[in-house]
Amino acid sequence: MSRALSWLLGGRTPLATHLLLAPASFWLLFLLVIPALGLIVLSFATNGPYGTIVWEFGFHNYARAFDPKYLPVLLRTFAFAAATTVLCLLIGYPVAYYLSFRAGRWRNIMLVGLMVPFWSSCLVAYYSWMIVLGKEGLINANLIRFGFLSEPIGFLYTPFAILLGLVYFYLPFAVLPLYASLDKVPRSVVEAAYDLGAGRWTAFRKVTLPLSLPGVVAACLLTFIPCLGDFLTVEILGGPRYYLLGNLISNQFMMAQDWPFGSALTSLLLAGLVGGLWLYQRWEKA
Amino acid sequence: MTEPISRRGFLKAAILAPLIPSLLAACRRSSDEKVVNFFNWSNYIGKDTLPEFTKRTGVAVRYDLFADEDEMFTKLRAGARGYDLIVVGDYHIPRFRALNLIEPIPAAELKNRGNLGPRFRSPVYDPEETTVPYLWGTTGIAYNRKRIKKAPTSWRDLWDPQYKDRVSMLDNVRDCISVAMQLLNIPQTTRDPEDFKKIRELLVKQKPLVKQYSSASYLNSLVAGEIDLAMTWSGDLFQTARENPDLDYVIPKEGTYMWVDCLAMMRGARHRADTLRLIDYLLEPDVAAGIANSVRYATPNLAAQPKIDKELLNDPRVYPTPAVMKKLQLHHVLDSEQSELWSKTWADVKVA
């Protein structure tokens, strides 16, 4: 038994390597690659009566996707995703820096604290935000009670509420890679900078920050990309005038019962993401 | 605690969690099990209705809820198996039939079908009586009496700029487009793209006033004062008014739509006999009255009428007067081409 295991874990033969990778490969193949291929095939099909799928293939769904009426949705989605990413970095970087350089023995507790929001579904979190932000919610009720306001402010169903929800949900996705890369910055290098006469700010700017850049990039990707497809936040916290790409896609599957068109939109989003990442990698290598 | 593991663990949990109930269900699946799987709107049954059935027959009911009929349809269409009995709006029946999702309920096997009122026998949407009417209601306007000084009387009031950001509309193709058609005097039978352009323009014009398109969460918003004026389904508002007595309901002077939610049997239902027993049970006068008294929608069950709370039975908002009844119309049964025009128009309103 233990011999078999050490043969497997050694991974010195191709067979052992494949076996070791098998669970992950199956996972990716059946839950990612095959569904994605199915989606791409579906995106060329035709929508039949009552949303049935007719297997007549063509580019018509893609032609429809380039209708200029969808441009504002696309731009709005990019704006929200970009704003969320920037805010997550601005808030997340100091947090990650503190965790890695200053938190000391509290670090593990704080890391767990960071993950706590994930223990409940984001649906629950967003409903809690509704209770906090509502006209009779926690904030308004207290502001009125202490005389700062006479009329409640309508926080809900505004861009503010959407941004708050997005930043709230994606912040841990930014903090964790930032923390991981900051934690890897060799303390000796930072100390060397001090020894060579750099002040705290110079040492940070010239040593810590550049060394943590991979984390910054990872944080950007992990917030920006999922934000592009987010629909729940707007569904719950946002109003009808802040319709995002994710809502457009989910509407094709749910309300309009036009799965081929929804698949085409999803494929385009996927293609955009893969293309963007590929360009980024080329640029990084160059 | 490195990042990729946490994230993957989270995603895995997120993906697997919804599967667990169906996995469990799959393990226990057998047709001689005494159970009926019932998929219904949220807040759409009496508190004791199902426990009482189980007590009497020994048949358990696995009860599952939806808050959005498009979502329900998508779930069933995508292959959610295992439901025996579902509740479908009258105007959705053709769509369910076209996709072969439901099978006829044999009227002969129900001894209580005769309890239904004459208005609900061989209706236009289902002349062969393959489904069983469950509850009916109207679409109208809800408003907060304290905050809206002049009671709304017309659908036009939902377009009044003084209510900017205080309005909500049902997130439902049929209701929103029907109302626009009513305001524009366009018949529901139209297929003219020009008509649909006008409908789209009218609904887009309203968008700056609309705080929410919602079919469920707007009720909380009404209670909390987030919005003050809403397109609503009658009974939902009466249920909500228990929490906030300032809420009232108006059937607009233009008239409105009535809809009939029907019990339908899923194709290949595994627990056929028990499903029929449950349907028959739901048709019993006492049971139907119990449901209607609790959810405050109108019952199509004539034999149940004497057992309906007097205050409900005499409330013209629930059981409209004959004069108003005359102005109520059923949603037109759309063919697939029309239904595509409707949903495309609604999708365009959402995007605009």
Delimiting residues of CATH 3.40.190.10 domain(s) in chain B? 27-136+260-319, 137-258+330-351
Q: Residue B344: list chain A partners with CB under 8 A.
A: 256
Tell me the two tokens of residue B53: 């059935």
Low-confidence ranges of chain A (pLDDT < 70): 11
CB contact under 8 A, A154 and B77: no
Chain B interface includes A252 (CB < 8 A): yes
Contact check, Cβ <8 Å, B343/A254: no
- Residues from chain A that touch B351, judged by Cβ atoms under 8 A, are 69-70, 73, 243, 248
Q: How far is B212 from chain A (nearest CA, A)?
A: 5
Query: Is B351–A31 a contact, with Cβ atoms under 8 angstroms apart?
Result: no
Q: Which residue has the tokens 């038994």?
A: A1
- Which of B158, B206, B350 to mutate against chain A (most A CBs within 10 Å)? B350
Output the six-digit token pair for A122.
Answer: 């984001």
Question: Which of A26, A28, A144, A255 to substitute to test the interface with B, most B CBs within 10 Å?
Answer: A255
At B8 the pLDDT is 45
Residue type, B99: L
CA distance A149 to A133: 14
Contact (CB<8Å) B74/A180: no
A76 close to B (CB below 8 A): no
Distance from CA of A49 to the nearest CA of B (A): 5
Closest partner residue to B99 (CB to CB) among A50, A180, A253 is A50
Class level of CATH domain B137-258+330-351? alpha beta
Side chain identity at residue A90, one-letter code: L
A258 touches chain B (CB under 8 A): yes
| Contact yes or no for A251 and B217 at CB 8 A | no
To the nearest whole percent, how much of chain A has pLDDT over 90?
75
In whole angstroms, give the CA distance from residue A90 to residue A226: 18
Please, are residues B33 and B25 in contact by the beta-carbon 8 Å criterion? no
B351: number of Cβ within 10 Å: 16
In chain B, what are the helix, strand and coil shares in percent, each to the nearest 5? 45, 20, 35
Instruction: Please give the structure tokens belonging to residue A145.
Output: 């009670």
Mark yes or no for CB contact A247/B350 under 8 Å. yes
Nearest CB to A256; choose among B1, B343, B352:
B343
Q: Spell out a b/e string for B172-186, using b for 16 or more CB atoms within 10 Å of the CB, else e.
A: bbbbbbbbbbbbeeb
Instruction: Put residue B276 in one of left, alpha, beta given phi > 0 → left and psi -120 to 50 → alpha.
Output: alpha
Residue-wise pLDDT tens for chain B (352 aa)? 333 344 444 444 444 454 454 544 544 455 567 999 999 999 999 999 999 999 999 999 999 999 888 889 999 988 888 899 999 999 999 889 988 999 999 999 999 999 999 999 999 999 999 999 999 999 999 999 999 999 999 999 999 999 999 999 999 999 999 999 999 999 999 999 999 999 999 999 999 999 999 998 899 999 989 999 999 999 999 999 999 999 999 999 998 999 999 999 999 999 999 999 999 999 999 999 999 999 999 999 999 999 999 999 999 999 999 999 988 989 998 988 999 999 999 999 999 8
CB contact under 8 A, A173 and B224: no
pLDDT at position B180 is 97
Residues 77-136 of A with CB under 8 A from B: 108, 111-112, 115, 118, 121, 130, 134-136
Residue B61 pairs in a beta bridge with B36
**Which of B207, B236, B234 shows the shortest CA–CA distance to B220?**
B236
Q: What pLDDT is attached to residue A121?
A: 87
Record: contact A176-B6, CB cut-off 8 A: yes
Structure tokens at A23: 């669970």
Looking at residue A283, its pLDDT comes to 87
b/e per residue B158-168 (b: at least 16 CB within 10 A): bbbeebebbbb
Which candidate from B1, B226, B350 shows the least CB-CB separation from A134?
Answer: B226
Q: State in Å, rounded, how far the first CA of chain B is from the last one.
A: 44
End-to-end CA distance of chain A: 48
Q: Give the max Cα distance, chain A.
A: 75
To the nearest whole angstrom, how far is the Cα of B103 from the nearest Cα of chain A?
17
Closest CA to A251 of A242, A241, A261: A261
B167 φ, ψ to 5°?
A: -110, 145
Mean pLDDT, chain A, integer: 92
> Is B343 within 8 Å of A248 when comparing Cβ atoms?
no
Q: What is the pLDDT of residues A24-49, one digit of tens each?
A: 999 999 999 999 999 999 999 999 88
Check the CA dihedral A72-A78-A84-A89 and report its sign: negative
Write down all domains in chain A, each with its CATH number in brackets: 1-38 (no CATH), 69-285 (1.10.3720.10)
Residue B3, pLDDT score: 36
Reported as a single tens digit per residue, the pLDDT across A96-147 is: 999 999 988 999 999 999 888 888 888 899 999 999 999 989 999 999 999 8
CB pairs under 8 A between A and B: 104
Tell me which residues of chain A, numbers 11 to 40, contact chain B at a CB-CB cutoff of 8 Å.
Answer: 31
ipTM confidence: 0.86
Q: What is the pLDDT of residue B32?
A: 67
Write the class of the CATH domain B27-136+260-319: alpha beta
Smallest CA–CA distance, residue B284 to chain A, in Å, is: 34
